[in-house]
């Protein structure tokens, strides 16, 4: 456990160093890549709360990632084209201010997660996996066939959304904005996991009946975890749109849900930094193998299968010092 | 809206449904007997289509190609079951989802490696080309009727296999109590391999038959895989009867909804927005249907509670 903690500190050090080095040696590409790792890491940390700690296997987190992305894209699309978004119940023509966008993203992802959670948490096991998948697919097909915001082609926003004083167009600045969010999300997750609420949702993963028997309303606990989880992933989606200045239905696709799951599993399930490590590993793999061969996903598949069949506990577990009584 | 168009679309829906049944029958059997969620089932659909395109290219015979799709997918199924899937039966659903997700990546890229990124084409045999006049004024594609016929044939075949043969008895016994039938001396791991290969070959056949009207390309299996999941969830996981009813329900709802929802909305809305709203909701319809069914019956229409 101790080794893992030291390793986690090193991860943070690296997250500070790599983009700064990228800046000094004028390689902005590495800044973008690290930004991507941080954002996908946030998405994974969101999923990990539900999947890793509470045992809710959601195969539809792309819904939240995509919703966050689309809310961001649509708001700034209207603001940049100074086009009216809606006129009822109040007049709005979007916004390109992150301080306005973030709360809207957070509220709307939380709301979506509440709706999906209310409906799908009635089921368990395979049915839960499939119904969350179905909800994400519903949004995916909606985004494809709704022509107003680009449909299948996606939506470009020409300017990254802004913050007061700070210039968000600068890659390094935007990176640090994302890093701040990562630290906030890690902090909140750590607090949650160690709270009495956290004990409850981790206990649900082990044995839901027992948790019920001590008087905890497990449905409410699971719903709240699901909402928090979806909200965090939604926020990551918003940052992702700002990073690429583009959003398309592909982020709502079920493969996205699968990838977010892969980050969680590769890094190590129910470990705070696991999804971050998983996302980093994924991006590094994509960059290095992708350079040699077009078929890099073949090797990704192979690594994943080997990990699931033989390692089983993720990359971070390699840094875990086993206590004597553990085998 | 003429009744002719409606009838044609209904037939299209049924044709789509019978193909969905070929996919979902295997999926639901594999889940029912082995307790495995197999995301890679769509890959067998793809492998079947590619085997068919390969053999059709070499021999020029559509019937040999169909045979090749069955056997190609079955061979791939046996290999993958022995090498990988076998180790997943005792794992939890999360491991199964991820491992089979990884298998999709592996198989899709593998096929892309062998056949290249360009789509292949599979020709419909001459005597199935063209149309047929049914019920004096409805003209319908012969090949699509053939697909419906094949689907019904296989549904009947499966029914006979499951209810009347020794293998069927074992499969049903496997669904009810795994430990008991292995204790009674049935070679359970051979049974699992057979069931997996059976499911894979049905998916492969569906891939080849649809490949002839669409194109044969990498990634063709995933959209239909998701639909097959919707089907088995609606029908109740593990139930073949549920898969059959679910397939037709999903096939017809999807086809009819996409065509008629925009028309229906035009009664209440202006045409332009009716078209866009109608087509958006039309494409979401089956997922809405699935959500509704799960809310009313959390384990599907014919699922065990």
* Residue numbers in A near B105 (CB within 8 A): 297-298, 300-301, 304
CA nearest to A281, candidates A253, A300, A255: A300
Give first-to-last CA distance, chain A, whole Å.
14
With cut-offs at 50, 70 and 90, classify the pLDDT of residue B295. Answer: confident
More confident residue, B183 or B131: B183
Q: What is the pLDDT of residue A327?
A: 42
Is the pLDDT at A189 greater than 90? The verdict is yes
Q: Which of B101, B106, B290 sits opposite A134 (nearest CB)?
A: B290
Q: What is the pLDDT of residue A21?
A: 86
Q: What is the pLDDT of residue B96?
A: 92
Q: What is the pLDDT of residue A222?
A: 96
What are the extents of the domains in chain B? 3-219
What are the extents of the domains in chain A? 2-319
| Rounded average pLDDT over A188-193 | 95
pLDDT digits (tens, 9 = 90+) for A271-314: 899 999 999 999 998 888 887 877 888 888 998 898 888 877 77
User: What's the rounded Cα separation, in Å, for the pair A40 and B142?
Assistant: 49
Residues 10-39 of B with CB under 8 A from A: 31, 37
User: What's the rounded Cα separation, in Å, for the pair A233 and B168?
Assistant: 46
CA nearest to B82, candidates B161, B197, B245: B197
* Residue of B85, B95, B97 to mutate, interface with A, max A Cβ within 10 Å: B97
CA dihedral A99, A100, A105, A111 (to 10 degrees): 130
Neighbours of B47 (CB within 10 A): 28
| Residues A243 and A35: beta-carbon distance below 8 Å | yes
| Rounded average pLDDT over A100-119 | 94
User: What's the rounded Cα separation, in Å, for the pair A262 and A143?
Assistant: 24
Q: What is the pLDDT of residue A40?
A: 96
pLDDT digits (tens, 9 = 90+) for B184-231: 888 888 999 999 999 999 999 999 999 888 889 888 888 888 899 899
CA nearest to A178, candidates A137, A237, A119, A101: A237
Angle between helices A62-80 and A98-120 (to 10 degrees): 150
Q: What percent of chain B has pLDDT over 90?
A: 41
More confident residue, B136 or B152: B152
Instruction: Determine which helix (DSSP H) or strand (DSSP E) holds A102, and give its type and residue range.
Output: helix A98-120
Longest CA span, chain A: 66
* Residue numbers in A near B283 (CB within 8 A): 141-142, 144-145
Q: What is the pLDDT of residue A326?
A: 47
* Structure tokens given for B231: 């089907």
User: What's the rounded Cα separation, in Å, for the pair B16 and B204?
Assistant: 15
With cut-offs at 50, 70 and 90, classify the pLDDT of residue A324. Answer: very low
pLDDT digits (tens, 9 = 90+) for B264-273: 888 887 877 7
| Residues A258 and B101: beta-carbon distance below 8 Å | yes
Q: What is the pLDDT of residue A89?
A: 67
User: What's the rounded Cα separation, in Å, for the pair B139 and A327?
Assistant: 70
pLDDT digits (tens, 9 = 90+) for A152-184: 888 888 888 888 888 888 888 999 999 999 999
| Residues A210 and A40: beta-carbon distance below 8 Å | no
User: What's the rounded Cα separation, in Å, for the pair A60 and A184?
Assistant: 24
* Residue numbers in A near B31 (CB within 8 A): 126
User: What's the rounded Cα separation, in Å, for the pair A33 and A287?
Assistant: 9
Instruction: Determine which helix (DSSP H) or strand (DSSP E) holds B32, and give its type and residue range.
Output: helix B3-34
Is the pLDDT at A133 greater than 70? The verdict is yes
CA of B274: which chain A residue's CA is closest?
A146
Q: Per-residue DSSP letters for B212-237? A: TTS-B-TT-HHHHHHHHHHHHHHH-T
Residue whose tokens read 């101790």: A2
For residue A115, give Cα distances in angstroms to A42, A217, A284, B48: 22, 18, 36, 39
With cut-offs at 50, 70 and 90, classify the pLDDT of residue B42. Answer: very high
Please check whether residue B164 touches A, CB under 8 A: no
Q: What is the CA radius of gyration of chain B?
A: 20
* Structure tokens given for B267: 């009664």
| Residues B69 and B54: beta-carbon distance below 8 Å | no
A135 to B229: CB separation less than 8 angstroms, yes or no: no
Is the pLDDT at B136 greater than 80? The verdict is no
pTM: 0.89
Q: What is the ipTM of this complex?
A: 0.86
Strand spans (E) along chain B: 131-134, 138-141
Is the pLDDT at A136 greater than 80? The verdict is yes
More confident residue, B203 or B90: B203
Q: Which of A141, A254, A305 sits opposite B99 (nearest CB)?
A: A305
| Rounded average pLDDT over A15-34 | 86
Is the pLDDT at B305 greater than 80? The verdict is no
Q: What percent of chain A has pLDDT over 90?
A: 51
> Backbone dihedral region of B96: left (phi > 0), alpha (psi from -120 to 50 degrees) or beta?
alpha
With cut-offs at 50, 70 and 90, classify the pLDDT of residue A322. Answer: low
Q: What percent of chain A has pLDDT over 70?
A: 96
Q: Which of A142, A258, A309 sits opposite B101 (nearest CB)?
A: A258
According to DSSP H, which parts of A60-97 are helical? 62-80
Pairs of residues, one from chain A and one from chain B, whose beta carbons lie less than 8 Å apart: 123
């Amino acid at each position: 456990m101790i080794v893992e903690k030291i390793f986690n500190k090193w991860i943070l050090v690296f997250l500070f160093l790599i983009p700064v080095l990228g800046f000094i040696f004028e390689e902005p590409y590495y800044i973008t890549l690290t930004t991507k790792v941080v954002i996908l890491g946030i998405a994974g940390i969101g999923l990990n709360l539900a999947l890793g700690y509470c045992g809710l296997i959601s195969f539809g987190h792309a819904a939240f990632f995509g919703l966050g992305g689309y809310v961001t894209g649509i708001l700034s699309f209207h603001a940049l084209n100074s086009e009216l978004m809606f006129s009822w119940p109040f007049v709005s023509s979007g916004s390109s201010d992150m301080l306005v966008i973030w709360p809207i993203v957070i509220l709307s992802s939380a709301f979506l997660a509440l709706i999906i959670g209310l409906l799908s948490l009635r089921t368990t096991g395979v049915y839960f996996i499939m119904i969350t998948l179905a909800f994400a697919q519903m949004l995916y097909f909606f985004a494809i066939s709704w022509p107003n915001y680009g449909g299948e082609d996606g939506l470009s926003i020409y300017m990254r959304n802004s913050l007061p004083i700070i210039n968000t167009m600068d890659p390094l600045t935007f990176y640090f904005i994302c890093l701040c969010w990562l630290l906030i999300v890690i902090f909140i997750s750590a607090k949650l996991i160690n709270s009495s609420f956290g004990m409850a949702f981790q206990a649900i993963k082990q044995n839901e009946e027992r948790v019920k028997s001590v008087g905890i309303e497990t449905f409410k606990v699971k719903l709240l975890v699901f909402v928090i989880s979806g909200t965090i992933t939604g926020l990551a989606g918003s940052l992702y749109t700002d990073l690429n200045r583009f959003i398309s239905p592909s982020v709502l696709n079920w493969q996205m849900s699968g990838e977010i799951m892969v980050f969680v599993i590769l890094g190590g399930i129910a470990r705070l930094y696991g999804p971050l490590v998983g996302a980093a590993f994924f991006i590094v793999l994509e960059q290095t193998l992708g350079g040699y061969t077009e078929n890099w996903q073949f090797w990704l598949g192979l690594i994943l299968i080997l990990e699931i069949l033989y390692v089983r506990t993720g990359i971070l577990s390699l840094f875990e010092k086993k206590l004597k009584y553990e085998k | 809206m003429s009744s002719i168009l409606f009838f044609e679309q209904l037939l299209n829906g049924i044709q789509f449904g019978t193909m969905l049944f070929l996919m979902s029958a295997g999926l639901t059997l594999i889940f029912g007997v082995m307790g495995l969620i197999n995301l890679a089932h769509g890959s067998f659909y793809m492998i079947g289509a590619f085997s068919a395109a390969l053999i059709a290219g070499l021999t020029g015979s559509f019937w040999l190609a169909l045979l090749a799709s069955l056997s190609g997918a079955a061979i791939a199924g046996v290999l993958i079951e022995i090498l990988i899937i076998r180790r997943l039966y005792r794992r939890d659903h999360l491991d199964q989802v991820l491992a089979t997700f990884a298998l999709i990546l592996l198989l899709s890229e593998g096929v892309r490696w062998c056949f290249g990124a360009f789509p292949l084409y599979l020709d419909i045999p001459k005597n199935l080309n063209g149309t047929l006049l049914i019920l004096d004024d409805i003209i319908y594609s012969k090949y699509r009727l053939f697909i419906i016929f094949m689907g019904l044939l296989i549904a009947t075949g499966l029914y006979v296999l499951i209810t009347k043969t020794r293998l069927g008895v074992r499969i049903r016994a496997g669904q009810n109590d795994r430990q008991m039938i292995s204790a009674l001396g049935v070679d359970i791991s051979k049974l699992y391999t057979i069931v997996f290969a059976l499911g894979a070959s049905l998916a492969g056949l569906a891939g080849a038959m649809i490949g002839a009207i669409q194109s044969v390309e990498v990634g063709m299996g995933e959209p239909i895989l998701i639909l097959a999941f919707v089907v088995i969830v609606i029908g109740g996981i593990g139930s073949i009867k549920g898969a059959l009813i679910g397939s037709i329900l999903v096939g017809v709802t999807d086809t009819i909804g996409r065509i008629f929802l925009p028309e229906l909305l035009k009664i209440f809305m202006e045409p332009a927005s009716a078209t866009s709203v109608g087509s958006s909701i039309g494409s979401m319809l089956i997922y809405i249907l699935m959500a509704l069914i799960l809310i009313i019956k959390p384990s599907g229409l014919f699922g065990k509670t």
